[in-house]
Structures are given as structure tokens and as C-alpha cells.
Amino acid sequence: MASRYFSRTYRTEAAWEDLCTQRLVEVGTRGIEVSVAGSDAVQLLAYFSTPPPPHQGLPERVGEQRGHVELLAEGWLEERDWQEEFRRHVVPIQIGDRFLVDPGELDRPPPVADGRIVLRLPTRTAFGTGSHETTQLTLEWLEQVEVENRTILDVGSGSGVLSLAAQRLGARCVIGFDLDLPSALMSGQYERLNREPSVPRGRIGLYAGTSGAICPKARFDLLMVNVLPHRIASELGWLAGRVRSGGLALVSGVLDAEENSVLAAWRALGLDPVGRRQRGEWVAWKLTKGGSQ
């Protein structure tokens, strides 16, 4: 029997898209399609396994407006391949000076590398196929820090895009993990897909699970965290403890409205900002642990 999904269609101002998306994630959306709805508004079609629980920042009844968000429609839908249309139109994305991320299908010819590191990540459900600002900001940082021969921990690895990029930049050892089992399984497939026989590979391990599986004695040269702050808040202390003295952290996935509180939490754990990037409402920092970098 085909699965069914519950859908809700919201309208909000373009400036509220990210916050609205975050709230939909908080109530368990399985996926969101965003479309432009006028000069300064967007429509978000969110899918759920079952009708979502109430959230103080989201309207509950069709026609209701709460804050900047209006609920336009809701209903049950039969399952289909949600990303089919999207997959037909994706194009390779140049990120920073070093990377070319290709979210296209494998029956297309590989993109022309033009001196860039190509990462082929055919779009499925795992986050991290290059189009999101938070991934782009982290990759832009990554190409500017010392990666060669370094040890790297990638928290919330999603598709594994950051881990694979670090490996291709010459990291000695990369460990990535994600709470989401399908994402972690997919990242293993992407890792195989992106193996280059001519490029020496450092060790790489991508697993489904939590930071608790990391050996307490392990220390990494570089920590990468592209995760919404509230989803990782309880683990920051443990993660900060895994960075060696003088090591770095790249922290992304943070809306500028939350910047000060998130930064204060990292500072309190001994990681100080030494660089900041912003795209749209998203910010990403380079932090250092007890040393100037």
C-alpha cells in the first residue's frame, strides 16, 4: 500500500523563510518545497508523516495568521518521488575557489572540473548537496584553513560533503557522524562514488549515531559543526573537549539572530572566534582553541 503524507502550505515574508523553516523542522517536517509567492513573499509546502504538533510560532488552522506566517492549505497526499522534478533541473555549483559540487544524476556526464575538486552528490534526502548557504560557508572556510595531514571531526555530516571535501584536501583522518540513519548510509555511498584512484586517500569513517561514540581521549585538529544550534547545544561541551589545544572549529548552521548566544556558548568552552562569514541570514565562524590562527 502506498504511504501517505500530510502536507501544510504556509505563506510568509521572504525574510522569515529561514525562521519558518526552522520551526517546521522543530515540529518534525520530512521535507519542505519553497516557491516564490510575490515580490517579497515565499510559500513553504511542508510534508509530515502525521499532522504536526502545535508550535507557538506556526498557525494551526487554514486561514489563520500567526506572527508573519499564514497557513494557506493542508491535506493528505499519496507518496510520490518528491525530488524528481528538482533532480531534473539541478546544475553543478562552484563553491569557493576549490570546489565544484554536482548534485546531478549519475547518467549525466561528469561536470568539467576546470581545476576544481569535483564532489558528485546526486540529490536524495541527505542534507548537503551544495545548494544551501550553510554548506557553502563551511566549504569556503575549509579551503582556507590547514587541512593537509590533519585530523577532522565532522558533526552532523549529512551527505558527508564536508568530510569528503576535507579528505580531498589531504586530511589524514576524517570522522563524520549523523543522527539520521538514512543520511549516514547515503554518505557511505557518496564516499565510494567519489573515490579517485589517482588521489591518495586519508582514512575516512562515516557513521550513524552521536558524538558519544567518539573515544574520550581523541583530540582533533579541526572540528566542523554545521548543525542547527538547538539540536547540538547539549553536546557542545563534549565536542569542544575533542578539539586539541591550538586546534580549530568551523561552526555553521546559525541564523544571525542567534549569533550572540551561540558564540557566547562556544567562548565559554574556550573556543574564540577569529573569523566570520555571512550569506543571507546564515553565519559561520572560524574559532580557535587557545591560540591565534
Ligand X SMILES: C[S@@+](CC[C@H](N)C(=O)[O-])C[C@H]1O[C@@H](n2cnc3c(N)ncnc32)[C@H](O)[C@@H]1O
Other residues' Cβ atoms within 10 Å of the Cβ of residue 79: 11
Residue 59 half-sphere exposure toward CB, CA atoms < 13 A: 19
Q: Which residue, 80 or 231, has its beta carbon nearer to ligand X?
A: 231
By the rule CB under 6 A, 232 interacts with ligand X: yes
- 152-191: which residues touch ligand X (CB under 6 A)? 155-158, 161-162, 177-180, 183
User: Which residue from 12, 29, 134, 167 is in contact with ligand X, where contact means CB under 6 A?
Assistant: 134
CB of 110 to ligand X, least distance (A): 21
Pick one of 227, 250, 269, 283: the residue that binds ligand X (CB under 6 A). Answer: 227
CB 38 within 8 A of CB 3: no
Residues 6+ away with beta carbon under 8 Å from 123: 83, 86, 87, 90, 103, 104, 129
Q: For ligand X, which is the closer residue by CB, 149 or 210?
A: 210
Q: Where in 233-252 is the site for ligand X (CB under 6 A)?
A: 235
**CB-nearer residue toward ligand X: 126 or 271:** 126
Number of residues forming the site for ligand X (CB under 6 A): 23
576544481: which residue's cell?
116
195 binds ligand X (CB under 6 A): no
What separation in angstroms does the CA of 139 have from each of 17, 173, 202, 256, 273? 23, 17, 18, 19, 17
Supply the minimum distance, in Å, between the C-beta of residue 184 and ligand X: 9
Nearest C-alpha neighbor of 254 from the set 95, 18, 1, 7: 18
Under the binding rule (CB under 6 A), the answer on residue 102 touching ligand X is: no
What CA–CA distance (Å, rounded) separates 50 from 230? 23
Closest CA to 141 of 289, 239, 250, 292: 250
- Which three three-digit cell numbers place residue 34? 519553497
CB of 211 to ligand X, least distance (A): 6
From the list 53-61, 102-110, 231-239, 255-263, the region that binds ligand X by CB under 6 A is 231-239
Q: For binding to ligand X (CB under 6 A), which residues are involved?
A: 127-128, 134-135, 138, 155-158, 161-162, 177-180, 183, 210, 226-227, 231-232, 235, 253
